């Protein structure tokens, strides 16, 4: 998956930009979480921003505090995790278990138009999932009010090796053995960024209540 740290901070421009967009969407929800979890790429930037927005909330450290107790979290914000997940159903189930009823899941992913300028074949590591498939899965799993939208981010590089180096640093490509050469003046990398939100469903009570006046007592 996207790595969290690098000496080349420019390599994480995409992760940081997407993280900022997630925070902007979070502000629109008017959520007031007491317990939060931040996962994925750009986690340092997200952590600092979440602590600033919700100074009284508890922000859990994923590596040290996952798996979480059942229904213990109000907000899970996951930046660019889904493309490196082999089974979204398992992942969404785990998040649903950890969230409290009406807890908020906010995430980003990458769609199939990502890196459309290039043909990488089996050198490409992540899975690019269609937005509609993600939405269908959330609906099937009874998440409440799932909302998804798409944006496109295009990065331009003068040097092809810088582009490929950034892709390798971020976990998109397997390592190259030799440098590349190109006569183009610039090299583009387009990312189809998917943003999604959904609320953890409230368990439906199976208790049957019968009004007292409808109860007949026979003797």
pLDDT tens profile 33-49: 999 999 987 777 888 89
Distance CA 208, CA 205 (A): 8
Q: What is the mean pLDDT of residues 173-181?
A: 68
> Confidence class of residue 20 from pLDDT cuts 50, 70 and 90?
very high
pLDDT tens profile 197-218: 999 998 765 555 556 566 555 5
pLDDT tens profile 9-18: 556 889 989 9
pLDDT tens profile 83-139: 999 899 999 999 999 999 999 999 999 999 999 998 888 888 888 999 999 999 999
Question: For the chain, which residues make up each domain, given as ranges?
Answer: 9-112+128-153+193-201
pLDDT of residue 170: 86
pLDDT of residue 75: 97
Indicate the pTM of the whole model: 0.84
In degrees rounded to 5, what are phi and psi of residue 121? 60, -135
Distance CA 203, CA 217 (A): 33
Q: How would you class 218 by CB atoms within 10 Å of its CB: exposed for 0-12, middle for 13-18, buried for 19 or more?
A: exposed
pLDDT tens profile 128-164: 999 999 999 999 999 999 999 999 999 998 888 888 8
Name residue 38's beta-bridge partners: 77
pLDDT of residue 178: 57
Q: What is the mean pLDDT of residues 18-24?
A: 94
- Looking at the predicted structure, is the pLDDT value of residue 175 above 80? no
* Domain boundaries 9-112+128-153+193-201, corresponding CATH code: 3.40.50.150
């Amino acid at each position: 998956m996207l790595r969290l740290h690098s000496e080349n901070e420019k390599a994480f421009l995409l992760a940081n930009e997407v993280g900022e967009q997630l925070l902007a969407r979070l502000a629109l929800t008017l959520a007031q979480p007491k317990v939060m979890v931040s996962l994925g790429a750009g986690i340092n930037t997200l952590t600092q921003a979440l602590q600033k927005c919700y100074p009284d909330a508890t922000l859990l450290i994923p590596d040290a505090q996952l798996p979480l107790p059942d229904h213990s979290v109000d907000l899970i914000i996951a930046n660019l995790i889904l493309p490196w997940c082999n089974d979204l159903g398992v992942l969404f189930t785990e998040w649903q278990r950890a969230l409290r009823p009406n807890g908020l899941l906010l995430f980003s992913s990458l769609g199939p138009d990502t890196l459309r300028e290039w043909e990488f074949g089996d050198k490409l590591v992540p899975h690019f999932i269609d937005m509609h498939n993600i939405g269908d899965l959330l609906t099937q799993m009874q998440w409440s009010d799932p909302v998804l939208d798409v944006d496109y981010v295009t990065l331009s590089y003068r040097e092809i090796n810088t582009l490929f180096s950034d892709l390798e640093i971020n976990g998109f490509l397997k390592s190259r053995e030799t440098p590349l050469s190109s006569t183009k003046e610039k090299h583009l990398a387009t990312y189809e960024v998917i943003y999604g939100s959904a609320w953890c469903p409230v368990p439906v009570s199976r208790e049957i209540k019968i009004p007292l006046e409808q109860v007949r007592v026979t003797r």
